[in-house]
Amino acid sequence: MLEILPLPDLQDNYIYLLHDTDSGLTAVIDPAVADAVIDVLAEKSWQLDYIFNTHHHNDHVGANLQLKQQTGCKIVGAAADQARIPGIDIRLGDGDVVELGNQCFQVIDTPGHTVGHIVYYSADSQALFCGDTLFSLGCGRLFEGSAEQMWHSLQKLQVLPAETRIYCAHEYTAANGRFALSVDPDNPQLRQRIAQVAELRQQNRPTLPSTIGMELATNPFFRAHDLGIRNNIGMADQSDSAVFRQLRLLKDQFR
């Protein structure tokens, strides 16, 4: 069984500790800082075996070298971006598999937010660790890649089973929801989701994980085909890719 512990850190980051209860092996996804990770490892009496990085931004790799020095763990990251992943030991790309004891994670290339972004998908545990490619009700900014690259990346994630839980790297759901409602105001599932999110945040509880099914129903960046969204942004006859590009531009300007 895979035990998943979210560790809130910095302003809105989530670091995820993964523990395979059968083998006793432990990994951490995108450690921004080391202290929170070290504290939980000590509390649980776990040894850190791996770091899984999704991309090179400092709020995802900032603790790589300190954790490696303190624990001797191996660092896993994208072969395409190995020069920017501090301390990388294991270089992977699209279709490769990394194992954590009895848990297997498929690596999926998802360029867009960065050109070397990857995500980790466990079919057995129905879990997707998607870094900054996919957010609840949103997607990552295009810092390095193109809109076409990001749209193609999101299409890879849309076809995962609907029950797949998505573990994003940031608590952005409430802000994303305000934008989603501006382009998809007649979506009752979106309105229900936003109400749930508001209640969770009032209680200082995380809005994650979401699911692929929930995002297909409510995330405008998964819904470029939707006629209501297309009409609302004046792009009824455009391609899905063009609609996605416009949605991303509108989100970048949204206040």
Domains of the chain: residue spans and CATH: 2-253 (3.60.15.10)
pLDDT for position 224? 96
Catalytic residue annotation: 55, 57, 59-60, 113, 132, 170
Contacts of 238 (CB under 8 A, 6+ apart): 230, 246
Confirm whether residue 225 is marked as ligand binding: no
Closest CA to 33 of 52, 7, 56, 54: 7
Region 195-202: mean pLDDT is 95
pLDDT for position 10? 80
Confirm whether residue 113 is marked as ligand binding: yes
pLDDT for position 216? 98
Residue 45 pLDDT exceeds 90: yes
Confirm whether residue 132 is marked as ligand binding: yes
pLDDT tens by residue, 227-254: 999 999 999 999 999 999 999 999 999 9
| Mean pLDDT across the chain | 96
Contacts of 129 (CB under 8 A, 6+ apart): 16, 29, 52, 54, 105, 119, 120, 121, 167
What would the 3-class secondary structure string for 83-104 be?
HHCCCCCEEECCCCEEEECCEE
Burial class (CB in 10 A: 0-12, 13-18, 19+), 184: buried
Q: In the block, which residue shows the tokens 């007649």?
A: 186
In DSSP terms, 90 is beta-bridged to 76
In DSSP terms, 8 is beta-bridged to 14
pLDDT for position 11? 83
pLDDT tens by residue, 110-166: 999 999 999 999 999 999 999 999 999 999 999 999 999 999 999 999 999 999 999
Confirm whether residue 60 is marked as ligand binding: yes
The proportion of the chain whose per-residue pLDDT surpasses 70, expressed as a percent, equals: 100
pLDDT for position 83? 97
Confirm whether residue 59 is marked as ligand binding: yes
Query: Chain centroid to CA 15: how far?
Result: 11
pLDDT for position 255? 80
Confirm whether residue 170 is marked as ligand binding: yes
Residue 13 pLDDT exceeds 90: yes
C-alpha torsion sign, points 39, 44, 50, 56: negative
Q: How far is CA 98 from CA 10, 18, 77, 80, in A?
A: 28, 13, 10, 16
DSSP structure class, residue 112: S
Region 208-216: mean pLDDT is 98
